[in-house]
Amino acid sequence: MDGEQFNEWKDQMTQQAMNAESLTDLQAARHQWLGRRGTITGAMKGLSSLPIEKRKVVGRQLNELREYALDLFKRCEENMELQAETSRLQAETFDMTLPGLWPQTGLLHPVTRTRRLVEDVFLRMGFSLEYGPEIEDEWYNFEALNIPANHPARDMQDSFFIDLPERVLRTHTSPVQIRAMQRYNRALPVRILAPGRVFRRDDDATHVPMFFQVEGLVIDHGISLADLKGTLQTMAHELLGDDIKTRFRPSYFPFTEPSMEMDVTCAACRGEGCRVCKGTGWVEILGSGMVHPQVLRNGGYDPHRVSGFAFGLGIERLAMRIFGIDDLRLLYQNDMEFLSQFQSYTGRPGL
């Protein structure tokens, strides 16, 4: 082994490294020189058989050659990687004008939105929100509202009883009237709105076992039927539009006297008469009346000094009306495709 031999090797490996066409070629060449059985490695092993003087010289030259090889292959490898990256980037197209991907956002359920619309109307009229328990004492749900044990109204509202005879899933939000009166403790005016879930043993195209109601109650000195009509007409116009008409029909509820139901003009035919309204041009949206003296008394108020009106309406019916939905059950199937239709449309501009 001498300098000439080393120069030859150097040329050889340089040629190989420069001509390598792939990373695999390059690694094979590197292995051929620097691998465990490689030429340089072999030559280093052979050093021990040389006489000491020669060993020093050849050893130094070999070390230099090894350094050279390490550096050569490293740089060629880096070069090759850089080239690969560059051609990959050149081949890649990137269109800055493509629209981004929109994340899917959630939205409020039509029933929630309708409840909030109703709350908003009444909050602006000076009402405050009141809540009661969903599991209710029979006394609050029935007796205090003038519905005694043998009263036919108890059959009208087929109830879910929790423990007989004491507790029941409330069948309406009306018991919150009594709880509110107790909480106000004879203070005036009482002007509350009580939204919440109610439960009945019902399940068909127009009834579900759990639904939402909003209860309203106003008590003060000299509250009259005119206050009731004015308040509820205002609500109807706010929610359904100024061109809507309302009418009040005599009705019966044990907790009001007199009692009336409010109808609004049918949305499907605009009052002309159609299948939806059974040809009458009107659909019922709520029950109401002047609070029965006994109910006032049950809440701690003196019917000789104060009077009040109350009303109760179903939120789903109103939601169907506002959003133009024709089957109550669609509201509770949690079909995202169906529900997401109501992202911006409320059936009324500005809402």
Which position's Cβ is nearest ligand DAH? 312
CA separation for the pair 182, 298 (Å, rounded): 9
Q: What minimum distance in Å lies between the beta carbon of 201 and ligand DAH?
A: 14
Is residue 115 at the binding interface for ligand DAH, with CB under 6 A as the rule?
no
Tell me how far, at minimum, the Cβ of 135 lies from ligand DAH, in Å. 17
Q: Is 287 in the site for ligand DAH (CB under 6 A)?
A: yes
Stretch of 42-50, 59-67, 120-128, 309-317 contacting ligand DAH, by CB under 6 A: 309-317
Tell me whether residue 256 or residue 265 sits nearer to ligand DAH (CB atom). Answer: 256
Tokens 């018991």 correspond to 175
Among 141, 231, 288, 307, binds ligand DAH (CB under 6 A): 288
Window of 39-47, 77-85, 229-237, 310-318 that interacts with ligand DAH by CB under 6 A: 310-318
Concatenated DSSP letters of 254-266: TTEEEEEEEEEE-
| Residue 145 CB-half CA count within 13 A | 30
Q: Among residues 62 and 176, whose Cβ is nearest to ligand DAH?
A: 176
8 A C-beta contact, residue 138 and residue 167: yes
Cis previous bond, 165, omega within 30: yes
Q: How far is the CB of 274 from ligand DAH (least distance, A)?
A: 25
User: Which secondary structure element, helix H or strand E, spans residue 307, and what is its range?
Assistant: strand 307-314
Nearest approach in angstroms of CB 212 to ligand DAH is 11
Contact 228, 165 (CB under 8 A): no
> At closest approach, how far in Å is the CB of 145 from ligand DAH?
8
Q: Which is nearer to ligand DAH, 174 or 265 (CB)?
A: 174
| The three-state (H, E, C) secondary structure of 288-335, written as one string | EEEECHHHHHHCCCCCCCCEEEEEEEEHHHHHHHHHCCCCHHHHHCCC
Q: Quote the CA–CA distance of 193 and 278 in Å, as a whole number.
A: 31
Q: Tell me which of 312, 320, 322, 323 binds ligand DAH, using CB under 6 A.
A: 312
8 A C-beta contact, residue 311 and residue 232: yes
**Would you call the peptide bond into 189 cis, given omega within 30 degrees of 0 as the criterion?**
yes
Output the smallest distance, CB 112 to ligand DAH, in A. Answer: 20
Q: Counting runs of H as helices and runs of E as strands, what totals does the chain give?
A: 12, 10
CB of 348 to ligand DAH, least distance (A): 25
Cβ-based nearer residue to ligand DAH, 114 or 288: 288
Q: Would you give the end-to-end CA distance of the chain in angstroms?
A: 94
Which stretch in 93-101, 180-188, 286-294, 341-349 sits in contact with ligand DAH by CB under 6 A? 286-294
Amino acid at 240: L
Count of residues in contact with ligand DAH, rule CB under 6 A: 11
Establish if 311 lies at the interface with ligand DAH (CB under 6 A): yes
Q: Return the number of the residue (256 or 298) whose C-beta is nearest ligand DAH.
A: 256
Burial 183-206 (b: 16+ CB within 10 A, else e): ebeeeeebbbbbbbebbbeeeeee
Angle ∠(76,80,84) on CA atoms, nearest 5: 170
**SS3 at position 73:** helix
Residue number with CB closer to ligand DAH (58 or 328): 328
Q: Could you tell me the smallest distance in angstroms from the CB atom of residue 234 to ligand DAH? A: 17
Site residues (CB under 6 A) for ligand DAH, limited to 160-219: 172, 174, 215
CB of 198 to ligand DAH, least distance (A): 7
Stretch that binds ligand DAH, among 6-14, 159-167, 283-291, 333-341 (CB under 6 A): 283-291
Q: Which residues bind ligand DAH (CB under 6 A)?
A: 172, 174, 215, 253, 256, 287-289, 310-312
